[in-house]
Amino acid sequence: MISSNGINGAAGIEMAEGLDEEVVHLVGVLDRDQRGLRVDLGPYTFKTAETPDELDQVHELNHRTFVREIGQYADNGLGRLVDKFHDKNRYFIALQDGRVIGMIASHDQPPFSVADRLADPSILDHLPRIMEVRLFAVEQEKRFGPVARGLLWLLFEYCQAHGYSHMVISGIDSKRDMYERMGFRPLGPAVGQGEARFIPMALSLANLPENIRRDARRCRNRVIEEVAEGPIRTVSLLPGPVQLSDEIRRVLSERPVSHRGPGFIERYERIRGILSDMTGGLKCAIMVGSGTLANEVVGATIAADRSLKRGLVLVNGEFGRRLSAQAKRYDMDYQIVEWPWGTPWDLDRVRAALDADPDINWVWAAHLETSTGMVNKVDQLLDMAEARGVKVCLDCVSSLGGFEMDISRAHLASGVSGKSIGAIAGLAFVFAREGALDHVDASRVPTYLDLRETMATIGPRFTVSSPVLLALDSALSRFDTVEKRRARFEAHAAMGDYVRRRLKSLGFRIMVDGPDAAPVITSFTPPPGLSSKEFCELCLGWGFELSGLSGYLLDRGIVQIATMGAVTQRDCALLFARMRAFLNDRVPLNGSRSKSVAASSNGRH
């Protein structure tokens, strides 16, 4: 038996700072009804106690074990014993045919009962993050089997997923050898309580004994397989094509209609208005094509603008480099200001370049550098450029729909349907400030790329597939008001924080963190010994399609998780559970794995 304290109470997992509800649900297996933590292994069900009947049975088992069997407490004659820490306990239970046959109570809120058994309670201050475990009880006929191991595994998974460093217990002195085989070590001598003697003990979760790790792996692997049983649903964590919502999939199956019909044109113009609002009021043109097409239009427009002389192209990743390549194709007169991948812009260098050459009157740059997951300092660039009368053109292909932005001061900008907006790929957007096209010589622009003519046309100039436009319209329903946009951006930000936090907890090295990190895409290096291709193939076998197969990612050994589409935290939680299982199987859980992963480290249109 073990005596110890938990988190929140018995009524389901709540979020708290440093905790990750979805990882706990899926590492421990979320039942199909999503009611709580639940694992079915053979004839036994392991779960958190939730119902009044389950809690009543917990109190009865508590009485049978700690009153009748051990004699730790006096008999109250009620046949049930409600723990003194009940209100803050989380109870992990084992059920067979609806009957509670085992339990563990836990909590992480002082005061800890183990402190009462220590001559110097301050010793607990040296343990970084404590989970006190109490009331470990299993029916006598079930003690030498999987019930105890299953309960302990569930508790270990919970503690590791939530970042606890140690479990502390008040173990029964006569069972000391059993606790030590589990990895617990005494914190002080045994002390008496009633007819029993208890010894205060602690277990470092970073140094689990091999037998415990082995049992944990066995249970964990079975649990993960049960979560993924049946046909694997591949989740797209690519920056394109993104994971589509069920509603978008539905509208894509609707019968196509003419792009010249009045209803289609009305919808088309309404969509242009929503997209304009999302940028702060820039005029919007919609074309059939990819983000590369949108940037081709921007490049063609710059090259044909008689008022634009020399320019700067800012490069700190693959997509800045591509803008430079497009500028070269149009034989533009420009300089490159370049930084290593993943490095923020040094705007002092940009300022110096502008001040050194008064003929420079335009800048072209990526808002969100998709290759690294960095949001560049566009607002500061716009401030600097505006003060000098310099026009700024922005690649917003990945940023549009990913976070709140006001680029109303930009000269030109590009965007697409199939990234952070969450629709299917196929529609390209080009935005222009009022008057931005006044000096463009349209005779120098190919017909399809003529932005001024496209802007002036009501409805599409050329054929647009109605299902693709309907899919965009459906996706934009989450952006068509200020309130909806704010909610969507907050969701993106929360997801981005979650992905980076989980990757770092697993020891991965991410390229961009902190305020410059994009909420919708995170770039990181794969585990030691695996190329980006091998790691992506591994994840695909688990049902998750990560980005890492593009040449520029393969060359640098980079993998990406993009959460631009209809991806939930629960989707990602199973991926991270798979990752953790894989890493734990490769390297013993002795605290060195995370360091070894991090130490090894040196997409889109």
**Sequence spans of domains, the chain:** 2-227, 235-242+483-599, 246-482
CB distance 411 to 432 below 8 Å: yes
Q: Say what the pLDDT of residue 7 is.
A: 24
Q: Say what the pLDDT of residue 516 is.
A: 97
Q: For the segment 533-544, what is each residue's pLDDT rounded down to a tens digit?
A: 999 999 998 889
Q: For the segment 316-360, what is each residue's pLDDT rounded down to a tens digit?
A: 999 999 999 999 999 999 999 999 999 999 999 999 999 999 999
Could you give the CA distance from residue 284 to residue 33 in angstroms, rounded to a whole number?
Answer: 44
Could you give the CA distance from residue 323 to residue 364 in angstroms, rounded to a whole number?
Answer: 7
Burial (CB count <10 Å: 0-12, 13-18, 19+), residue 40 = middle
Nearest Cα to 556, choosing from 371, 326, 370?
371
Least confident of 177-181, 293-297, 378-382: 177-181
Task: Pull the structure tokens for residue 584.
Answer: 């734990």
Task: Pull the structure tokens for residue 332.
Answer: 């533009």
Q: Say what the pLDDT of residue 521 is.
A: 98
Average predicted confidence (pLDDT) for the chain = 86
Domain covering 2-227 in this structure, CATH number: 3.40.630.30
Calculate mean pLDDT across residues 41-69: 90
Topology of domain 235-242+483-599, CATH? Aspartate Aminotransferase, domain 1 (3.90.1150)
Could you give the CA distance from residue 104 to residue 526 in angstroms, rounded to a whole number?
Answer: 37
> Could you tell me the pLDDT band of residue 10, with boundaries at 50, 70 and 90?
very low
What SS3 state is found at 186? strand
> Could you tell me the pLDDT band of residue 207, with boundaries at 50, 70 and 90?
confident
Q: Say what the pLDDT of residue 440 is.
A: 97
Could you give the CA distance from residue 91 to residue 107 in angstroms, rounded to a whole number?
Answer: 9
Percentage of the chain modeled with pLDDT above 70: 87
| Domains 2-227 and 246-482 agree in fold | no
Q: For the segment 499-513, what is each residue's pLDDT rounded down to a tens digit?
A: 999 999 999 999 999
Calculate mean pLDDT across residues 177-193: 88
Q: For the segment 276-314, what is each residue's pLDDT rounded down to a tens digit?
A: 999 999 999 999 999 999 999 999 999 999 999 999 999
Could you give the CA distance from residue 323 to residue 237 in angstroms, rounded to a whole number?
Answer: 25
Helices (H), 330-414: 347-356, 378-388
Could you give the CA distance from residue 168 to residue 189 in angstroms, rounded to a whole number?
Answer: 14
Selecting from 3.30.360.10, 3.30.870.10, 3.40.640.10, 2.60.40.1120, what CATH number does the domain 246-482 have?
Answer: 3.40.640.10
Q: Say what the pLDDT of residue 32 is.
A: 31
Q: For the segment 217-258, what is each residue's pLDDT rounded down to a tens digit?
A: 676 666 555 544 444 568 999 999 999 999 999 999 999 999
Q: What is the pTM of this model?
A: 0.68
Calculate mean pLDDT across residues 86-103: 93
What SS3 state is found at 562? strand
